[in-house]
């Protein structure tokens, strides 16, 4: 009993550890926020596997002392592959997004550059880069999949119910036809029985009349 209990506790612990690891892998990556001075560049690298999905978004944060983003707060963003191929490029924008499927395996580079201007300013940039499983918007995918799945299942159920409804009406019509045929057959059988009885009685009467005439002719009666 003690050995079974120990094994049970070990299995539960292993299961909890697996769930914890899965939650770490499936949890979306948090956004990275950093400061960028005018005329400077900061780069972020991400190791991406071949054919893995990657999505990213970036934006310049509105300063706390400003009601809106100043016109000077623009950034240029470029994403390149491990072999230097350009994946994404936006020049002097406030925000943007990118998405791609990795055709090359290795470190992808995303560089953010703040144009030089006077007076010099410090920009706060929020950058988020998700890859692999975390790159999927599971909420929208789940909702869309559920809606499409529900529509498909409802369509199947609708067709099934319609088919059952039509089959029930068809069986009801067949039942009425069979009942009508049974009533007609019973009626005909009844008339045939009466006719047969009448014929039998007529033949019996004729036989009696013939026998009576025969015996009278022979003077047996």
Phi, psi angle pair for 101, to nearest 5° = -105, 125
CATH class given for the domain over 29-136: mainly beta
CA–CA dist 177, 106 (Å, integer): 76
Helix (H, G, I), strand (E, B) or coil at 37: strand
Q: Which residues are CB-contacts of 125 (< 8 A; sequence separation ≥ 6)?
A: 33, 34, 35, 36, 42, 58, 59, 60, 61, 75, 112
What is the pTM for the complete model shown?
Answer: 0.52
Does position 186 have pLDDT exceeding 60, yes or no? yes
Summarised one tens digit per residue, pLDDT across range 187-218 is 889 999 999 999 999 998 888 888 888 777 77
Secondary structure, 3-state, 52-115: CEEEEEEEECCCCCCCCCCCCCCEEEEEECCCCCEEEEEEEECEEEEEEECCCCEEEEEEEECC
Number of Cβ within 10 Å of residue 7's Cβ equals 10
Domain definitions of the chain by residue range = 29-136
Lowest mean pLDDT among 3-12, 23-32, 137-146: 3-12
Specify the DSSP element, H or E, that contains 173.
Answer: helix 138-217
Summarised one tens digit per residue, pLDDT across range 18-40 is 434 444 444 444 589 999 999 99
């Amino acid at each position: 009993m003690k050995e079974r209990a120990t094994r049970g506790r070990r299995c539960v612990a292993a299961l909890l550890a697996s769930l914890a690891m899965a939650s770490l892998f499936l949890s979306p990556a948090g956004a990275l926020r950093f400061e960028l001075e005018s005329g400077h560049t900061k780069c972020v690298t991400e190791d991406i596997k071949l054919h893995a999905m990657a999505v990213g978004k970036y934006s310049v944060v509105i300063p706390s002392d400003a009601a809106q983003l100043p016109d000077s707060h623009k950034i240029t963003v470029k994403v390149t592959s491990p072999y230097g191929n350009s994946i994404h490029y936006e020049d002097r924008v406030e925000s943007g997004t990118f998405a791609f499927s990795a055709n090359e395996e290795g470190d992808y580079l995303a560089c953010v550059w703040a144009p030089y201007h006077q007076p010099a300013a410090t920009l706060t940039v929020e950058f988020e880069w998700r890859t692999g499983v975390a790159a999927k918007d599971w909420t929208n995918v789940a909702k869309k999949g559920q809606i499409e799945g529900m529509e498909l299942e409802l369509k199947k159920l609708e067709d099934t119910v319609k088919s059952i409804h039509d089959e029930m009406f068809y069986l009801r019509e067949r039942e009425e036809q069979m009942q009508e045929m049974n009533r007609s057959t019973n009626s005909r059988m009844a008339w045939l029985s009466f006719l047969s009885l009448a014929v039998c009685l007529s033949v019996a009467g004729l036989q009696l009349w013939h026998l009576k005439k025969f015996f009278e002719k022979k003077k047996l009666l």
